[in-house]
Structure 1
Amino acid sequence: MSVGCNFTFVLVWRCIKQKKHEWFNVKFATLLLIKVHLLAGFYGWWRAMDLRDVKSEAQIEVVSLQPNFSLAQLASNPDLAFSERTRNIDSLLGDSRRALAATHKKNHDLQRMLVWPESTFPAPIFKDASAKKLVSNFAKEEQVHILLSTVDWEMQVDGSYRFFGISVLVNSDGVIAGRYNKIFLIPFGESIPGSTWFPSWAAWLREMIPNISEFEAGQEFTAMPIGDAKISAPICFDGFSPEIIRSMVINGANLIVLSGNLAWFGRSNAGDYLEMITRWRSLENRVPVVFATNSGYSLYWDATGQVLTKRMRLFEEGHLSAVM
């Protein structure tokens, strides 16, 4: 559309400056542009109305926390960590109990999922048996599915390790029901580009950036079942990739829960950018999307990109809830 507008403006300017009698072409281009706008607008309205008339039989209540934990101990620049709240499991479980009590579910047959955003769960659930037991017991006690993000690693034959950023679904029986390995890795944050080709350069970067991570990219577009619903749980910058979210939907996901932590960027517009891009993922794929973050901005959209909840402020502590 912008290209069409620019073309028309250039044509008008050319006629004015060169005093040529090409106003018929200007009128034709203008009318054509108006018609294209009207057709595009009508098509968008028709598709939105068509989607609103369709109600999925698979519904789930989603409760997400925004605990606003401080990550000063992990940040390369602690001055950007505006929160002073200590990250620990006790605080996370306390927040969860209050959020679940405040969003008391009226329909006992409705599946319920609690979302702990990226960087809020402080333990590797597959390596820390006590933390795993706490989560399992809490899920059974509250009869809630829990979606969390953490890290995991595997030892190779040569003694080296492969690290992963992961999302894990614990069902209401306290059993791990699914796992997703993050695909889109942030250069110089979660990976070192070219590290195998330039090992000395990679070693220098490890010294210069103390908290740099080196994760292995995932390969599967996992969709995890909760009743009749299927959940995909991309992590943070996974949302920048249309291909990743599209492949998850093709794989059966009818709800996307994007877990993020943008506390590293301080009071900047990084959260606005990821929020805007994540909303496009719901519009592109016609699926509802939950954007759950540690420090803001958290909110939910339906399959047409309409906002379902309030938009939590940057560095605000609280929770959101809606039936998706």
Structure 2
Amino acid sequence: MKFLTLKETAPLLLSLLSGVLLALTFPLYDFESLAWLAFIPLFSAIEGKTPQRAALLGFITGMAFYSIGLSWVNNTLINYGNLPMVLSFAVLLIWAAYTSIYLTLFCYFLNRVCKNKPVLFFLFAPVLWVSLEYIRSTHSEYGFSWLGLGYSQYKTLPVIQMAEITGVYGVSWLIMLVNAGLYLTWKSWQESNNNMVLRFLSVTVLVLVLWVGLGISALNRAAPKPNFKVALIQGNVEQAIKWNPVYQLVVMNKYRNLTLQSMQSKPQLVVWPETAMPFYYTRHQSGTLFVQELARETKTPILFGNPRGEQNGSEVTHFNSAYMVTEKGETKDRYDKMHLVPFGEFVPFKSLLFFVEKLVPMIGDFGRGEEATVFDVAGQKAGVSICYEITFPDLMRQAVKNGAGFLVNISNDAWFGKSAATYQQMAMGALRAVENRVPLVRAANTGVSGTITANGEVKDETELFVDAARTVNIAP
């Protein structure tokens, strides 16, 4: 039997190392500093290889990265979809393979275009990476912005401030530029090319210092004082009982009690999570009256998530929606979710994943909304997103363009269990706040609920899987 030599296995190990390092930069691990050098092992692995071999090594990095970073998918499909473990892991690997295609293309074109051209490598790598990341993130149906490189720095506020101008993709560009610069500095040092060491290192440091300096300057700008109180209600309703008619009154009374508890701090808006009420609002007479009467009793508007059905002949199209009930008990605004969750609200790649829809009856296709509705509340304008939509910059920006002074994200993260997924969503929310320079509030059924300032600072976070009524003060 012939064993692989160290020279043959080294590129594979280096590619795997890059994938693991990338995964460790995101929640729950949050080793953010690793992002600035995570690609150096991969760059070393593809050096001197053919474009095809470089593409394979990029795919290996992607599979390691996304299999770890998206492992929460298994919790959803196994525990709530009743999918056998083997098939659940197969779905995870297929999803990781799909997202790894972009890393594969990155390594292929980087190797093909920049082989033995270090200056071009330094300039081209960040642009190529951001181009592919943008393509991956923006498709109207299959776009998947999760684990975009820039999100890894959500806690490093000076780094993410430039997202106001560049979006999250600018932060991704910077991280890749630093990775390329450090790699080429190290490579030039190995070759005793002191001139190129100085050039690559000085340019890399200069760009980084200027970027962080501008970020610090932005943080030092005078900010408006918080003057708008929002009560975030975290019902912590188990998924297993959420739609069980036996527990309907239990769920309704839980939200009533938590809402009344929050009234002690006199909020101007109450926010309940996605699909908070276990009935179809406007169709369920007593349930509809329950929400309207509570709004009148508390003299406070209630914004909440609820599914709705739209009759089209003999068929009913379901929508994941958000409603606004005014302090007078009037149903004023509605928003229908526009970007649906893969495997939760529609099944992607149906021809390939035919067994998922068959084995997971809780998954059903939903209709898509068409407009970023802005809700008028207490003299302010709120842009609403539902769950997964927080990951899409262009979608969230629509509400701000329509006049929203703050953003509201409602979610039901019970599907994810105690995994990294809900924390990864909060990380993406931090970039949405900075990109639009507006605060963001988030109410999630099982957490994490909380606020994000216009500078991207995550505050007022609740614990996972606890009841909570938290009143926060924001500055629209």
TM range (shorter): 0.7 to 0.9
Task: Give me the whole-angstrom Cα distance separating, in 1, the residues matched to 2:209 and 2:189.
Answer: 28
CA distance in 2, matches of 1:264, 1:87: 20
Pair 1:138 & 2:294 matched: yes
2:219 aligns to what? Answer: 48
Structure (1/2) with the larger helix percentage: 2
Write the distance in 2 (CA, Å) between the matches of 1:273 and 1:86: 33
Segments of structure 1 that go 5 or more residues without pairing to the other structure are 76-83, 106-110
- Given that 1:69 and 1:87 are in contact with CA atoms closer than 8 Å, whether structure 2 keeps it comes out as no
The residue number in structure 1 matching 2:276 is: 120
1:238 equivalenced with 2:401 (yes/no): no
Summarize the alignment of residues 72-151 of structure 1 with structure 2, pairs less than 5 Å apart.
Answer: 72-73=240-241, 88-101=251-264, 103=265, 105=266, 112-151=268-307
Give the distance between the partners of 2:180 and 2:356, measured in 1 at CA.
47
Instruction: Pick closer, same or farther for the CA change 1:16–1:55 going to 2, 3 Å.
Output: closer
Structure 2 CA distance, aligned partners of 1:16 and 1:303?
42
Gaps of at least 5 residues in structure 2 are 1-173
- How far apart are residue 87 of structure 1 and its match? 5.2
Which residue of the partner structure matches residue 411 of structure 2? 260
What do the CA deviations read for 1:62-88 (whole angstroms, capped 9, x no partner)? 00111211111469xxxxxxxx99852
Cα gap change, 1:87 to 1:264, in 2 (>3 Å)? farther
User: Per-residue deviation at 1:43?
Assistant: 1.4
In the alignment, is residue 60 of structure 1 matched against residue 215 of structure 2? no
SS at match of 1:152: strand
Matching of residues 188-207 of structure 1 within 5 Å: 188-193=343-348, 205-207=356-358
Cα displacement string for residues 210-247 of structure 1 (whole angstroms, at most 9, x for unaligned residues): 21122101010110111321112211001111111011
Task: Judge conservation of contact 1:69–1:86 (CA < 8 Å) in 2.
Answer: no
After superposition, give the CA deviation of every residue in 1:268-313 in whole Å (9 maximum; x if it has no partner). 111111111111111111110001111111110111112342x211
From the superposition, tell whether residues 39 and 73 of structure 1 become closer, same or farther in structure 2 (CA, over 3 Å): same
Paired with 2:184 and 2:365, the residues of 1 have a C-alpha distance of 53
Question: Once the two structures are superposed, what CA deviation does each residue of 1:17-71 show, in whole Å capped at 9, x if it has no partner?
Answer: 334xx31232232222222122111211222333x33458xx4310011121111
Q: SS state of the match for residue 233, structure 1? A: strand
Give the TM-score of the pair, scaled to structure 1.
0.84
Report how far residue 147 of structure 1 moved: 0.6
Aligned-partner Cα distance in 2 for 1:213–1:74: 17
Q: Which secondary structure does the structure 2 equivalent of 1:287 belong to? A: coil
2-side partners of 1:303 and 1:14: how far apart?
A: 40
Partner of 1:18: 191
Q: Distance in 2 between matches of 1:205 and 1:34?
A: 49
Taking the aligned partners of 1:268 and 1:247, their CA distance within structure 2 comes to: 30
What letter matches 1:155 in structure 2? Q
Larger RCO of the pair (alpha carbons < 8 Å, separation 6+): 1
**What amino acid maps onto 2:337 in structure 1?**
K
Tell me if the contact between 2:232 and 2:472 (Cα under 8 Å) persists in the aligned partners.
Answer: no
The corresponding residue for 2:375 is: 224
Equivalent residue, structure 1, for 2:84: none
* 1:2 alignment partner in structure 2: 175
Asked if the contact 1:67–1:92 (Cα under 8 Å) also holds between the matched residues in 2, the reply is: yes
Percent identity over the alignment is 26
Cα deviation digits, residues 247-277 of structure 1 (max 9, x gap) = 1111111111100111112121111111111
TM-score, normalised to structure 2, is 0.58
RMSD value over aligned CA atoms?
2.5
Runs of 4+ in 1 over 6 A off after TM superposition: none
Instruction: For 1:39 and 1:171, locate their aligned partners in 2 and report how far apart those are by CA, in whole Å.
Output: 47
* Higher share of residues assigned strand: 1
